Amino acid sequence: MNTSNLKKLALLLVIVLFNYEFINAQSFDPIDKAPHDISYLRTNKVTKPIIKVIYGRPSKNKQEVFGNQVPYNKIWRTGANEATEVKFYKDVVFGGVNIPSGTYVLYTIPGEDEWEVILSSNLDVLGSFQYNPTFDVARFSVPVAKAEMLESFSIAFKTKKETTQMVLGWDTTRIKIPLTINNEEALAHL
């Protein structure tokens, strides 16, 4: 090998080693600590949903959740990472408030005995620090209930005869938001 080729090989080796050290020095965490989930309210498994909720699912991690991880009486993005988004495919009555079909951000203000629930039309927000009350389309309170322990924050729908509820739960805390879908055809299939 001539001197020119040896110099090129040495330079290439230095570049490779530098990049290897640079990449290894970065702290990449491939596991999302609060993965996102989607919850649907559908008339059946193959139809378009009536409601879709996209939210982050933080975990309890052996800590007290409400009053600690999530402070009482402060606005919460109702999940982790980006604020929780709710899409209503039909007009609904959400917590007693008429809501037109569309996409909204769900905020809450957890309390020991009741939570304030807020729907906002300000979309694509990262967390509660971007909350602006001028975009509120609904604001109401619901009581807190206790139930079995849930390790990760969860949102689901509960339907019984003529009542539908969006249920938010984490640790032993549950809140139930009453829903009425303004579409008799959709309701007939629930």
Give per-residue pLDDT as tens, 57-113.
999 988 899 999 999 999 999 999 889 999 999 999 999 999 999 999 999 999 999
Report percent pLDDT > 90 for the chain.
62
Distance CA(182)–CA(121), nearest Å, equals 20
Q: Which residue has the higher pLDDT, 16 or 57?
A: 57
Q: Over 90: is that where the pLDDT of 34 sits?
A: no
Question: Whose CA is closest to 189, among 42, 49, 88, 43?
Answer: 43
Q: Which residue has the higher pLDDT, 30 or 138?
A: 138
Q: Which residue has the higher pLDDT, 35 or 142?
A: 142
Distance CA(100)–CA(90), nearest Å, equals 7
- The strands making up 92-94's β-sheet, listed across from edge to edge, are 36-41, 51-56, 84-88, 102-109, 114-120, 136-160, 163-181, 92-94, 97-99
Distance CA(190)–CA(188), nearest Å, equals 6
Q: Over 80: is that where the pLDDT of 182 sits?
A: no
Residue-averaged pLDDT of the chain: 85
